[in-house]
A = this chain, B = another copy of it.
Amino acid sequence: MKPGGGGGAAVPHFLSKVWALVEDPQTNEFICWSADGQSFNVLDEESFAKKILPKHFKHNNMASFVRQLNSYGFHKVIQYESGSAKQERYGSGKYQHPCFKKGQEELLSKIKRKVSNLSVCLQASFQAHSDLKGFMCPGAHQFFFPTILVSIIKGITSP
């Protein structure tokens, strides 16, 4: 269960919604897959922000949408304009993530949200020590080992 904005699945709400929007033919005027299916396009950011976003999120700001994309590791694809011939539509944008590809919805679960320092550091620091498994507290539903921590605290406080 993913709280916060309300997750009910392994995939956060945000990702599910973006996927649905890109897939939905009714919104293809605003957001759709790119030609090669490796990224998605927002065709008119202003219209998309004002018309589509508030139906699915609690805001109507393109900047907030982009911030979320970045949080999940999406990157804007810089479209090189060959010469001046190309008339790019004003306000369009292309965004990409290696696990966000047309026809491969199962990859969504691999997209991880980047969080800021606290949890990241803790987890990052401890993940390198996966040899610490196997400490169940009797009665607990999860992995747990208070006794050991008592020893730790004692070690710290009365060295």
Answer whether residue A148 sits at the interface, using C-beta atoms and an 8 A cutoff.
yes
Closest to A57 in B: B58
Chain B residues near A157: list those with CB within 8 A.
131-135, 142-144, 148
Residue total for A at the interface (Cβ-Cβ under 8 A): 76
Known: A135-B153, A138-B124. A117 touches B158 (CB 8 A): no
- 21 example contacts (A-B, Cβ-Cβ < 8 A) are as follows A24-B83, A26-B83, A46-B49, A50-B91, A55-B84, A58-B59, A117-B144, A117-B147, A118-B140, A120-B137, A122-B155, A123-B159, A126-B150, A126-B152, A126-B155, A130-B159, A131-B154, A135-B153, A144-B157, A148-B156, A149-B153
